[in-house]
Structure 1
Amino acid sequence: MIKSKLEPFNLAPEQNLIMMLLWEKDGLSQNQLVEKLDKDKTNIARMASSLEKKGFIKRSSCPNDRRSVKLFLTECGKKLGKEILPITEEFNEIVCEGISEEELLQLERLLNKMKENVQTSF
């Protein structure tokens, strides 16, 4: 459902995760995105490159650490947020319908436990 809703905006669901974080806090580094999304550096770099080609973000090297790259929204990327955020809010309302806040917190705790189990097993 979300893929079809994002398609007219030339945005893949995984790319949308990066954009969501940047709409929340512009200027995150690629390393911060790696940590927050639990993705490998190569995937984040590839998605950032694609988003930059689409004109949604601009990558900038940090002056004090050349290895670190920060991502900033362009005007086009900021405008996109005004269109995408209502779509993601609607999606969240649909998938969470009939689920209490307490149940959502429990689900988050359980998923985190499962993630930890996988990380400690490999």
Structure 2
Amino acid sequence: MAKSRTLNPARRVLEYKLDDSVGFMITVTERRLKPLFRECVAAEGFAYGMWYFLRVLFEEDGLTQKELSERVGMMQPTTVTALRAMERDGYVSIKEDKKDKRRMRIFLTDAGRRIGSRILPMLRQINDFALKDVTEEEFKVLRNVLRKIRHNIDSGTFKPVRQPQRRPSTAKRA
């Protein structure tokens, strides 16, 4: 006779497998991709923490600090730190907005474009490798699903319902 398996309390409450957790799936995938990305970026002598800022500017130059923070998904103080380092290293220039002098716009320098042009093809190869068995249609679905997930999270309307805690029995055991 087979032993019956007893599920731990958390498993009973959740009633879904780890592979059904979007957070788990994204995290595990990111943990596999990140070292490959880091290696390519580091091989060019560029700091991985600054890469996404440079990458966004490579696609859309002249953003404000706030716009850049939003596109990268980082807090503004983190963006300021990265931009200062990138400006110090000659990868970006920060200029006053011509229409609104209170705002600053960030532009890639020639050095920023050059390093981006060297790193981007390597990262594209990693991306292509990761997606080698994924059809174009599957990728479009994945991209749309991830955008919807981000939108849901960004809406800020989620409020978790806490499960009542069970109080330990105070009865003495014989």
TM-score scaled by length of structure 2: 0.62
Matched, 1:86 2:121: yes
Greater helix proportion: 1
Amino acid at match of 1:23: F
How far residue 71 of structure 1 moved from its aligned partner, in angstroms, is 1.0
Matched, 1:46 2:50: no
Partner of 1:58: 93
Paired residues for 1:1-122 under 5 Å: 1-119=36-154, 120-121=157-158
Contact kept in structure 2, 1:57 and 1:73, CA below 8 Å:
yes
Bigger Cα Rg: 2
CA-based RMSD: 1.9
Distance 2:140 2:64 in 1: 28
Q: Count how many residue pairs are aligned between Structure 1 and Structure 2.
A: 122
Greater strand proportion: 1
Contact kept in structure 1, 2:93 and 2:108, CA below 8 Å:
yes
How far residue 99 of structure 1 moved from its aligned partner, in angstroms, is 0.6
Distance 1:21 1:80 in 2: 13
Distance 2:118 2:66 in 1: 27
SS at match of 1:67: coil
In structure 2, the gaps of 5 or more residues are 1-35, 160-174
Distance 1:116 1:86 in 2: 29
Distance 1:26 1:115 in 2: 24
Contact kept in structure 2, 1:31 and 1:68, CA below 8 Å:
no
In structure 1, the gaps of 5 or more residues are none
Contact kept in structure 1, 2:65 and 2:105, CA below 8 Å:
yes
- Identity percentage over the alignment? 25
Shift in alpha-carbon separation, 1:117–1:82, aligned structure 2, 3 A = closer
Q: Which runs of 4+ in 1 moved over 4 A?
A: none
Shift in alpha-carbon separation, 1:24–1:114, aligned structure 2, 3 A = closer
SS at match of 2:103: strand
